[in-house]
Amino acid sequence: EDILRIFPLEEDWYRGFKGSVGAGLSYTKSSDVLTANAEYNLYYVISKWRFRNNFSFISTKTNGEAPSLRIETNFQALYALPHKWVLSEINSFNRNDELAIKARISFGLGGGNNIVQTDRQRLLILTGIMQNSEKNIESKEIVSNFEWPVTIQHTVYSFMRPDLTSAIYLA
C-alpha cells in the first residue's frame, strides 16, 4: 500500500527515454518578421533516479536586422529518499538577446518533499541553493550571485482514455 506509482524500467537502457520534440516557422509579411523555434523535452527514469532535460530555441529576425536569439536548456536530476523526500540537482544555460544576456549559467542543489503523492496527482515542493554566473552582451564582466529558489510542481495524471498528464511549475 506504500506504492503509488511505478515507472517502467526497460531492458535496453535507450528505451527508457520518453519525451517530445517540436519545431515551427512563421513569417508575417506586414511586419516582415520571421520566427523559427525548436524545442524538446526528455525524461528518463532509472531505479530511484529521475532525469529531465528541456531545451527551447527561438530566433526572431526583422527587416534588415540581425536575428534575436533566445536559448534555454536545463537538466534536472531527482533522487528519491524514504518518506517522500527527494534530493535535487539542476544545471541550466540561458541566452536572451532581448534582455542583453549573452550567457547565464546556473548550478543548484537542494531537496524537497512530495507533500501530496497519490495515483492521480503529485505536489512536490523543492528548495535549495543556486549559483548563477551571467555575462551581459555589452560588457566583458561576469556577474555571479547566489539564489534561494522555491519551486512548486503539481502534476495531475489520467491513465484512462484519454491518457493525459498535466503539470504546472512555479518557481
> Is the Cβ–Cβ distance between 51 and 60 less than 8 Å?
no
- Residues forming a β-bridge with 44: 51
Interval 60-109: pLDDT, tens: 998 878 889 999 999 999 999 998 899 999 999 999 999 999 999 999 99
Q: What percent of the chain has pLDDT over 70?
A: 89
Stretch 26-34: mean pLDDT, rounded?
91
| pLDDT of 22 | 96
| pLDDT of 14 | 78
DSSP 78-92: EEE-STTEEEEEEEE
> Is the Cβ–Cβ distance between 74 and 88 less than 8 Å?
no
CA distance 4 to 114: 12
CA distance 34 to 22: 17
Q: The whole model's pTM is what?
A: 0.78
Cα→Cα distances 140→27, 97, 128, Å: 34, 15, 29
User: How many C-beta atoms surround the C-beta of residue 108 within 10 A?
Assistant: 21
CA distance 51 to 38: 21
| pLDDT of 42 | 94
| pLDDT of 64 | 78
